[in-house]
């Protein structure tokens, strides 16, 4: 009986221990569920805070003053310009928005240019000419005369200039073989070519058929032959070949033509003396034209003889 009692006590203790263990497990699960609920509530609160912060930042950006890139003078000018118009705040915001838009576009273009330059530099390759002969030689190395021009001790800028001249010479450069070699058999004989006189004859035949000048030079030649232009070298007596045989005194001394047909004193005489003086100084008229002038005045005054008699 005592053994049975001890067994019952052991079973009860074991059951109590298991019950306590079940309680512990349930408490842990409850704590986990509570923690999950709290974390969910905290996440919701955090999300709400982020949404509020984003909306507040957007509102601040919308109502924020212009960016630092705009100078204070520009902002002051915008505000002064907006003060002269109704709805000042709206006008100011539109002006600043337009200015920031231009700055954003210019910044994008500048970045694109820098990227393009970077791409070009990245794609560039430095070429080296293996045939270039260096001027610098180590002290312990033997220098040979490769070009056959002799060994010289050229140093400094003069040696570099000489090397550049030899490098850029037209006779030492590589041939491009653009032109084919001239065959002596295919060359035309110089005697078979038309001479200068043949070409001139052909031009004369063409001008005989076509009377109109082909260019401005031929037009000037035609005008010169017609007497419309001066001949070169310029001759001031051109067109006055008839006056070449006329003595000089016939042009200057014209008072002797006033002896007949004109009064010897009075206003008409004085007038004619002035006319004769002017004709003697005129080098563009011939002697015949000067005499025609004098004759015209003579005939005119003779027709007015009655008026002359009354004047006397």
Give the pLDDT score at 110.
65
Do residues 220 and 249 share a domain? no
Answer whether 34's CB lies under 8 Å from 60's CB. no
Residue 244 has pLDDT above 50, yes or no: yes
Instruction: Give the helix ranges, DSSP H, for the chain.
Output: 2-63, 72-83, 88-123, 156-167, 196-209, 216-225, 249-252, 267-281, 287-303, 305-311
Contacts of 96 (CB under 8 A, 6+ apart): 66, 70, 75, 78
- What Cα–Cα distance (Å) separates residue 265 from each residue in 89, 217, 259, 262, 296? 100, 58, 11, 9, 20
Give the pLDDT score at 24.
46
Do residues 90 and 41 share a domain? no
Mean pLDDT score, 177-190: 62
Residue 255's domain comprises 241-311
- What Cα–Cα distance (Å) separates residue 169 from each residue in 30, 164, 312? 97, 8, 99
**Is 186 within a domain?**
no
More confident position, 71 or 141: 71
Q: What is the biggest distance separating any 2 CA atoms in the chain, rounded to whole angstroms? A: 202
Give the pLDDT score at 95.
67
Give the pLDDT score at 53.
58
Do residues 265 and 303 share a domain? yes
Residue with tokens 């045989």: 245
Mean pLDDT score, 96-112: 65
Do residues 250 and 298 share a domain? yes
Mean pLDDT score, 99-122: 62
Residue 241 has pLDDT above 50, yes or no: yes
Give the pLDDT score at 86.
60
Answer whether 100's CB lies under 8 Å from 67's CB. yes
**Is 271 within a domain?**
yes
Give the pLDDT score at 218.
86
Residue 168: other Cβ atoms inside 10 A: 9
Residue 259 has pLDDT above 70, yes or no: yes
**Is 283 within a domain?**
yes
Do residues 255 and 293 share a domain? yes
**Is 145 within a domain?**
no
* pLDDT band with cut points at 50, 70 and 90 for residue 236: confident
**Is 154 within a domain?**
no
Residue 111 has pLDDT above 80, yes or no: no
Q: Which pTM does this prediction carry?
A: 0.28
Do residues 267 and 307 share a domain? yes
Contacts of 99 (CB under 8 A, 6+ apart): 66, 70, 74, 78
Residue 311: other Cβ atoms inside 10 A: 11
* pLDDT band with cut points at 50, 70 and 90 for residue 21: low
Do residues 248 and 217 share a domain? no
Give the pLDDT score at 22.
47
**Is 174 within a domain?**
no
**Is 127 within a domain?**
no
Contacts of 245 (CB under 8 A, 6+ apart): none
Mean pLDDT score, 245-262: 86
**Is 236 within a domain?**
no
Answer whether 58's CB lies under 8 Å from 52's CB. no
| Count of domains forming the chain | 4
Of 278, 270, 234, 271, nearest in space to 252 by CA: 278
- Which tens digits make up the pLDDT trace of 46-61? 666 665 655 555 544 5
- Which tens digits make up the pLDDT trace of 261-312? 888 888 878 888 888 888 888 877 888 888 998 888 888 878 777 665 676 6
Mean pLDDT score, 150-176: 64
More confident position, 35 or 196: 196
- In this structure, of 103-112, 140-149, 155-164, 219-228, the range with the lowest mean pLDDT score is 140-149
């Amino acid at each position: 009986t005592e053994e049975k009692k001890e067994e019952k006590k052991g079973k009860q203790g074991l059951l109590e221990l298991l019950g306590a263990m079940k309680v512990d497990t349930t408490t842990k699960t409850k704590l986990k569920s509570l923690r999950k609920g709290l974390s969910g509530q905290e996440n919701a609160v955090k999300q709400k805070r982020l949404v509020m912060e984003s909306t507040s930042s957007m509102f601040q950006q919308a109502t924020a003053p212009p960016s630092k890139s705009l100078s204070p003078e520009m902002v002051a000018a915008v505000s002064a310009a907006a003060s002269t118009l109704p709805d000042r705040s709206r006008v100011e915001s539109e002006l600043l928005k337009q200015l920031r838009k231009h700055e954003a576009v210019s910044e994008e273009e500048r970045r694109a240019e820098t990227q393009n330059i970077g791409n070009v530099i990245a794609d560039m390759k430095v070429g080296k000419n293996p045939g270039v002969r260096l001027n610098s030689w180590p002290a312990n190395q033997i220098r040979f005369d490769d070009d056959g021009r002799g060994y010289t001790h050229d140093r400094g800028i003069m040696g570099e200039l000489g090397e550049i001249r030899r490098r850029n010479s037209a006779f030492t450069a590589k041939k491009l073989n653009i032109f084919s070699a001239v065959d002596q058999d295919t060359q035309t004989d110089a005697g078979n070519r038309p001479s200068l006189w043949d070409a001139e004859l052909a031009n004369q035949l063409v001008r005989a058929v076509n009377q109109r000048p082909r260019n401005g030079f031929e037009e000037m030649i035609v005008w010169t032959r017609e007497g419309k232009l001066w001949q070169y070298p310029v001759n001031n007596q051109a067109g006055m070949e008839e006056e070449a045989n006329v003595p000089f005194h016939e042009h200057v001394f014209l008072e002797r033509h006033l002896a007949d047909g004109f009064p010897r004193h009075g206003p008409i005489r004085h007038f004619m003396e002035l006319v004769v003086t002017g004709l003697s100084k005129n080098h563009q008229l011939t002697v015949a034209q000067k005499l025609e002038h004098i004759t015209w005045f003579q005939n005119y005054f003779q027709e007015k003889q009655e008026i002359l008699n009354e004047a006397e």
